[in-house]
Each structure stands twice: as C-alpha cells, then as structure tokens.
Structure 1
C-alpha cells in the first residue's frame, strides 16, 4: 500500500500545462531515490523524532530509548510481515530474520513436520512447486467479474436462483466497480503516456535555460528567470517534486516512467479478465479455503521492494552504524510470509499467512495490504479469531484511497461481519511530518469508527532491495511504524497481551486538534475526528504507560 507518486500529480500537471509547458520546451536562455549505505543515516528518519522535544509529529522513539529503555533488557519477539517478499540478504535485515530452528536449510525435507518444506525464515504462498512465483495478479473485482460473467450469463436479479442471490449481488457490485475502474485507468494511462515525452523535453529545456545539469529544489528556488512562463514552469516543477517526494528532475522522470509502466500493468494484468497466472504456477484450487499446504520457500519473490521497506521500519539493525534504525530492538525478529502480489491478495492466502505466522510463533503480524472486495471473508475472520485465541496482535494498513471507511469498504475489514470489534486488530491511517493542515496524509483512508489511530506514513526512510535505502509513502508505512512500536512494548514488557498492546497504543496516542484537510478534499476538519483515538502513535508515551501497567 505504498503510493505510486504519479497518482498524486494532478495539481502539478495543471501547473505545468498549457503555455508554461510549451514555453519551457522552447526557451533557449533561461520516486524514490535509492541510496547505498553510508554509515548511520538515521537522521533521515523523521518519524523517530519526538513531538515535544523536536516539534515534529513523530513517535518519540529516540526519546524513549534515551530516557526510559536504556537500562531495560529487551526479550525476544517475532513479528511476521505478510507482504510481497523481503530481500533477506539486506545488510540491515539479514541479522534480524526469524530462524526456524526445527528446519535444516536446503535438504528438501519438512524437518519440523509443519507442512512446509525448508521454511527456514518463513513461507511463500504465491509460489509453485517448481520454484516459480506469481508476481502480477488481477484485482479481486476482476476475478469476481470474470467468474460472474460466465456463471450468471443471461440472468437477472429476478431469474437468478435464491441460493445464488448473494453471489449475484456481489457480482453486480463488482461489475459496476470494474467498469468504472477500467474507464478510469484507460484515461489515466493515456494521460501518463501523454505526459512522459513533453515533461522529458521540458526538463531538458529547463536545464539548458538555467545553465545546470541538475534541477533540484535548491537550483529551482535560486533560479533567476524573467520570463513569466518559465517562472510558472519552475513553480510547477517544484510542486511536482513536493507531491512526489522526488529529490530532483531526474528522479521525477524516473518516477514518471515507472508510473507509466505501472499503469500499463494495471490494464494488461490487474484488470485483464483473461489473466490467471496462479493456475499455471501455484496449481492450487483458489476457491478451496481449506487448502493450506501449497507454495514454496522463495521469500524474495519477483519484487521484494514493498516488503523490504516495511521490514526495515519495524526492525532494521539499530546498532551497526549502517543505514537506518528499526523501531524495535534486538532480539526482535522478522518472519517473512509472502502473500501479496502486484495486484490484489487472495483471502485464502491472507488466512493461511496469518495461521502460518501464528503457528510458528509470531506475536505480532503486520499486514500492509488491502482491497475493495473480499469474497472469502469468513476464512479471513476465522484466521483473525485464531490469532486472537493465541494472543497475537494484528496491525493493518487502513488503505490509500482517501476514503471514509465509515461509508466505504476496505478489506481485511476493521470489524467482523456482525459489526463487532476485532479485539486484537489495530487499523492504522497515515500522518505526515508537519503539524499543520497536511498532518493527515492526503491519500490516507480515515474513519471515526474503523481507523484506530494514525502513524507516520509520508516520506518514510527505510530499507530497499540491494542493501540500499529510500523514501516511500503510504499507510503501508504507517502500519509497520505501529507494529514496530508494539514490538518494542512486547519486547520490554513481555507479559503484555495482544489486547493490552492495542489498548496501550490507543490510549497513549497523541491527540491533535489541528485543523487538517480531509484526505482527498479541501474541507478543513479537526484531526481528532478522523480516527477512533484522534491521535498519532506515540511510542514514548506508550512505553511510559506500559511500564506503569507492568508494575
């Protein structure tokens, strides 16, 4: 649930359109950028700072370690990361991977008899027995529509059998959403493709006009331009960089090209009614939620970027003076469970991933994923309840559609189907680095009932594949910030239960009454009305509360 930067370019595109774009191309006189390890780069982690000491709405991790935890001894905790996969060789992650002591690596035998062969650091539910892996997948609505058009061809609400009524209603809802999404993505794909060439030319022209090979924010702000059209183009470029988090124009162009590639993948794969890679690769029956023993032990997968970033936020090595500092201390360990493709995860895989994590000792599970439809919701809820029985805390990203979850659906849901609260689940929205009208991330879902708390999720600096580092934004980042805080509490105060962890994190959240823009809109509202707690996760206050509760 990271945010593709090109999806937040509407304002910048407007600023760059028309005369400014044309003029900038003809003037003759005036995503994330990954960085390799270069010692301690934790200063880039704004979210570790303290709202009181640093005047930054972070979680106060640095303060908690300096003032309270320095003389306490942490205990082992296992945090499962259900995600796209992880770069298990990353210099900041390899030492903190969970190790299945009952498994002998590489011998092709299920030594611990848990049903999964060579699951040394976790399991991959998107893999096949021959070692191949699912990467791109369809959206859930696509799968529902593809099946429904065959099953309900020629039928209406009046002619469908009573026993099939509920499935037909779901199909009709998915069909409506699918048609709207397909139209939207076709238009967006055309827009992105039409932008690529002109903006590339514009960047080249601006470099020439300003006499520089690098257009970063410093160069643009210091540029001396008399031409009003060039001034407008510079303003648009700066706004585009702000919205996307790009450090310079070259990084911006890279994001644009990656965005065009992602848009094409959405049309070719996610919304393709005939696309079904799972049948050839995994070879399970995706409709049989009782199947548990499928997949393989490839935890890297085709694209581990998302999971690698999430894992680093939680527990990247804190003491090696390289790269970043994870929130949680050694001996907290990361269990890798791959179940999230480039597309919508399947309910069956989510349920099995939760059960695998619980059965193998995870005490906290991070779930940075979500979707609009959940046809096998009972299986996921049964897994929720199984985790609750075993005392496992679930932490889930609220989603990036700037929707009010009081009126819009997002799965896995914050409530059971009978509308009761899930006692061991925290749902997390994303907040930003400034306590002003942008404190709420403009993409974040929100809800006075269905989002428990907000946490930093904008420009979060963490690990990326290849032992490098970079910024990502999304509720996908806010969730592991919260899971990392939960891991700290569990590690230093091991008697805390899953419900204790949820209660303490919610009670200690720093409530803000800042007037903020409603995500996706311009209306100003009180930040405290956008979640159950009205606050941002505060590790410093949570540790104090946990310490008091443990006396």
Structure 2
C-alpha cells in the first residue's frame, strides 16, 4: 500500500510519474472541432505528444424537487441523447443563476390566480402602496395597486377568469424547489400580473397599451421583462410607441409569433412584427420535442426571431379551470407559441439577473446568438434555432472591434458597401450579428432610435474577411448616412464609421 506524499517535492515526483505535470491547455480564437484536432495533433507529432483530448466542460446540474419537474421535458429532457436535446438546458443555466427577486416579469395576460400555492409568494408587491386603504399612496394614478392591475375592469384585482394568464406566469416564474407542482424558469423573479385580456381571452390594443405603460412606470421597481403571449393580424402605432418607451426604460418584451401556421413575413402579426422595428421586442415561435417547428407555429425569416418549446407544455392554471378539466392539482398541459414566449420571458429574466446592467438589445442578442442552430429552422427564423438558456448566460466581456473602413464600393451598380469584418473578441473570432441603420442625417446616440433598420442584414464573417453588401433597391432615392453595429454572442457592441451614400432613381 502506497503512503501519501509527505512533502511538496514528493507530490511533484508523483505528478511527474503520471505525466500530469506536462499537460498544456490550448485556446483558439475561432471555433474548432476538438476531437478531430486532437486526433490530427497526435498523428503529426507522435514523438512529442503523449495524448491529446478535448478540454471538456463539466458542470453540476441543479435539479429542483418539484414533483412534476420530471414531466417538464422542455426544461430538461433526459430521454434523448445530448446531441438531440430539444429543451432549454435549464438545469445547466440554474447552476449560473436561478433568477433574482430584483427582476420583475410583467405578464400582460388574462390575470392570475393569486392564491395558487405555487404562485402566491411570487407576486410583486408595490412598496409604495398601502393595501385596501382606498388611496393612491404612490401617486401613480392607480388606487391600491399592490400587486398588479385589471385594465379590463379597472380595479386592483387582476383575477384570472380564463386561466391563460396563470399558465403563462407559472411557466416564466412559478415558485420552484418547494416540493410543489412545477418548476418555473426564473425561480427568483417576481411576477407583476397586468390583466388586459377578458374571460374569453380577447385583448384590445388599448388595454395592452395601458398595461405596457404601467410596466414602464414600474421599471423603477424592477420590471425588466414584459411577456406578451397573445397576438393577431395587424399593426399599431400606439403599441409601438408604448414598447419604444419600454425600451428606453430598459425593459425587453417577449411576444408570441402566433398559432396560424403562417409566414409572418407575409402577414404582420401584432405585436410580434415589432421585432423588426424595436430593439427590445423578441418574436418567439414554437418547437416540439424533436426540434421541429410545431405544425401550428407561425414563422418568418425576417419577423420571427427564435424558437422555444411549445408542445406538451405543463403549467399551472386557475384551480377552477383545472377542476373543470379533471385536474384537481391546478395544472394544465397544452400547446402554443404563448407557452414558448413565456418560457423565453423566464430566460430573459435569468439574463437580467446575471447581467443586471444589460440593455434590452443585449438581452435580445443573447437569446438569438446563443440559440442551438437547428437545420429544420434555418430560413424560417432570424436565429435559425431554438433558445438555450445555458448558452445565453455565457460570460464574455470583450466587445468586437469597431469597423473602421466602411465605405462605398466604387464602380458598382446597384450601390454597395464594403468593410473588413472585425471579430467576436476584438479582432479575433467571428461576431454574431450586424445591425445596419440608415438616416438622412448623421446618426448620433440620441438619434439612433429614429434611424431606419435594414431588415435582412448579412451575417458577420470571420475576422479579416472583406465583406460586401448591396444596398436594397426598395430604399427610396436620396442621400443617407449608413452605420453598422457589430454584436457578439453576449450582446457586446461596437459601431462602425459612418458613410454617406446618395441613392439615385
């Protein structure tokens, strides 16, 4: 039997005997295939390298004790091989953060069953309001608004007469690890129920706008996420302005893409279409357990950002409705982009918890750039993938280098811009997204919001690549200033120089 080393020199000899004192870890500036590279290094240097293997990333996986968690395949599906997982990778994300109580999710829906045992302790409480005294204590125009508001009946009790709002609230942030019912995505986040839908599940744009405005007013109290699990064909200037105010208040808004099986690039879906107009709106499609677009889900290469599980989703509902369905435990199972959006709202709350200084555009980029790319979703969604909560929490503090050589490509018709791609970390790697803006006057920090966004920008190429982009022919002729914002997968951003371009008929 060997004895333990009695000194550092003895320990060093022991490590040398096993060869672990000669280990070297290699880091690469751009993506590689670790197993293939390890095999190639062994072939090329058989006398210098004893062994080569990938530097595997292993983590603990925090699993809650909620009894129905094992049925929540969309949080962690243990019945498939890792490469076929279609879930959110929630336990891996929970090892980083389970959500902060400082982050409030405003759920604009049909209300909430505030007495549900898995939700009762998750409600936001307005610290500026005294309950039931008939006085608007905080002077915000709403009397006794302790935990939300009913914009349908105009009272401080956003009770859920439909069940949908309770369901969405539970998916985003049900009380978790309490040995009761289900697990929510963001354990720590609080819920602000804002009732804008009636007992039939109908929403008017006027009540939605009022609810968004209320959420903006509560930004100082911690509202960072708005969930919008509703929709229909149309557009709305009023709602766009309300959500633009939410963007300025550092609130991200997650919208359901719709359940009509249609292409949203052809028919605008309200409010999801606003993703192309506002930095803080994310449109979510539904995917199934096989990483396929759900048969009912709307899609759109330009107007729907990312997919999330939306088939066979178990959640909480009002106990009255659950009893009618024969579920005495207050649960319900079903499908929809509503459910997919609520899950993404929970992930957005996790991101805001881990990175509280993030602007809405940074949260949005994290959701899109870190999605698991799925071949079946390519060309159907902006990201071409399904959200991954774990990857969305990636820590990366190095921004891309700014583009410094943006210029008009000479002698080309139609006109085009050219530049040298920078990278993900400074001048290394490959950035995640470009945001190309144009305006009739020079673009400044204060006027960026008014600059028009190009709907279909190219994807960044590896650092050092000379890129060329043809200016779309549908931009009206006149003189414009063009600017490119470069984002990495963590939402870090750098801007290009501006270039003046005159478009002629």
- Give the TM-score of the pair, scaled to structure 1: 0.56
Partner residue of 2:156? 297
Q: What corresponds to 1:390 in structure 2? A: 249
Kindly state the Cα deviation for residue 65 of structure 1 after the two structures are TM-superposed.
2.0
Return the alpha-carbon distance in structure 2 between the equivalents of residues 301 and 334 of structure 1. 14
Which residue does 1:92 correspond to in 2?
118
Q: What does residue 65 of structure 1 align with? A: 94
Change in 2 beyond 3 A, CA 1:545/1:528: farther
Measured in 2, the distance between the counterparts of 1:431 and 1:406 equals 18
Give the aligned length: 322
**Whole-Å separation in 2 of the counterparts to 1:97 and 1:343:** 22
2:272, 2:304 within 8 Å by CA — same for their partners in 1? no
Name the larger-Rg structure: 2
Aligned residue in 1 for 2:333: 471
Q: 2:391 aligns to what SS in structure 1?
A: helix
Query: What are structure 2's unaligned runs of at least 5 residues?
Result: 1-64, 320-328, 399-489, 493-505
Matched, 1:441 2:294: yes
The worse-fitting range, judged by mean Cα deviation, of 337-346 and 361-370 is: 337-346
Question: 2:172 — aligned with what?
Answer: 314
Offset of residue 64 of structure 1: 2.1
Q: Could you tell me which residue of structure 1 aligns to residue 186 of structure 2?
A: 328
Deviation of 1:349 after TM superposition, in Å, equals 1.1
Tell me, yes or no, if the aligned pair for 1:87 and 1:308 is still in contact at 8 Å: yes
Q: CA separation in 2, counterparts of 1:550 and 1:428? A: 19
CA distance 1:458–1:545, change in 2 (3 Å): farther
2:300 aligned with 1:432: no
Instruction: Using the TM superposition, give the Cα deviation of residue 69 of structure 1 relative to its aligned residue in structure 2, in angstroms.
Output: 3.9
Sort the Cα spacing of 1:299 and 1:441 in 2 relative to 1 into closer, same or farther, 3 A.
same
The 2-side partners of 1:337 and 1:345 are apart by 12
Contact 1:97 1:121 in 2 (8 A): yes
1:505 alignment partner in structure 2:
367
Residue in structure 2 matched with residue 191 of structure 1 by the alignment: none
Aligned to 1:41: 68
Give the 3 Å change call, closer, same or farther, for CA 490–108 of structure 1 in structure 2.
Answer: same
The alignment partner of 1:116 has SS state of coil
- Residue 350 (1) aligns with residue 208 (2): yes
1:532 to partner: Cα distance:
0.4
Deviations 1:248-285 (A, max 9, x none): xxxxxxxxxxxxxxxxxxxxxxxxxxxxxxxxxxxxxx
Q: Distance in 1 between matches of 2:106 and 2:336?
A: 19
1:409 and 2:268 equivalent?
A: yes
Cα deviation 1:95-121 (Å, max 9, x = unaligned): 111001111111121111111111111
> Is this contact kept in 1: 2:230–2:256, CA < 8 A?
yes
Per-residue deviation, 1:373: 3.5
Bigger relative contact order (CA 8 A; separation at least 6): 1
Whole-angstrom CA distance in 1 between matches of 2:368 and 2:307: 10
Matches within 5 A, 1:118-157: 118-127=144-153
Query: After the TM superposition, which residues 74-473 of structure 1 pair with which residues of structure 2 at under 5 Å, given as runs?
Result: 74=100, 76-127=102-153, 295-303=154-162, 305-330=163-188, 332-341=189-198, 342=200, 344-361=202-219, 362-374=223-235, 377-415=236-274, 421-435=277-291, 439-466=292-319, 468-473=330-335
Cα displacement string for residues 18-71 of structure 1 (whole angstroms, at most 9, x for unaligned residues): xxxxxxxxxxxxxxxxxxxx96211110111168738330010012224x448x
Deviation, 1:537, is 0.5
Q: 1:408 & 1:109 partners in 2: Cα distance?
A: 45
Q: Distance in 1 between matches of 2:237 and 2:157?
A: 28
SS of the residue 2:227 aligns to: strand
Shift of 1:348: 1.2
Contact 2:365 2:491 in 1 (8 A): no
Where 2:273 maps in the other structure, the secondary structure is coil
Work out the CA distance in 2 between the residues paired with 1:391 and 1:325. 27
Partner of 2:7: none
- CA distance in 1 between counterparts of 2:229 and 2:362 reads 22
Separation (CA, whole Å) in 2 of partners of 1:107 and 1:319: 35
Counterpart contact for 1:427–1:453, Cα < 8 Å:
yes
1:445 CA drift (Å):
0.4
Deviations 1:381-413 (CA, angstroms, capped at 9, x unpaired): 110111111111010000001110111131124
Flag the 1:413–1:316 CA change in 2: closer, same or farther, 3 A.
closer
Change (3 A) 1:80 1:52: farther
Give the C-alpha shift of residue 344 in structure 1: 3.7
TM-score normalised by the chain length of structure 2: 0.61
Q: For 1:82, what is the secondary structure of its paired residue?
A: strand
Matches of 1:547 and 1:52, distance apart in 2: 32
Could you say what secondary structure the match of 2:214 adopts?
helix
Counterpart among 366, 371, 380 of residue 530 in structure 1: 380
Q: Residue 85 of structure 2 is aligned with which of 45, 53, 56?
A: 56
Residue 545 of structure 1: how far off its partner (Å):
4.7
Q: Residues 71-111 of structure 1: CA distance to partner in whole angstroms, max 9, x if unpaired?
A: xx846101000001110111111111100111111112111
Q: How far did residue 335 of structure 1 move?
A: 0.2
Whether the 8 Å CA contact 1:299–1:337 is kept in 2: the answer is: yes
Once the two structures are TM-superposed, the CA of residue 358 in structure 1 deviates from its matched residue by: 1.3
- What's the Cα RMSD here? 2.2
- Asked if structure 2 preserves the Cα contact closer than 8 Å seen for 1:363 and 1:391, the reply is yes
**Aligned CA distance change for structure 1 residues 69 and 353 (closer, same or farther; 3 Å):** closer
User: How far apart in 2 are the matches of 1:74 and 1:298?
Assistant: 25
SS at match of 1:43: helix
Q: Indicate the structure with greater helix content.
A: 1
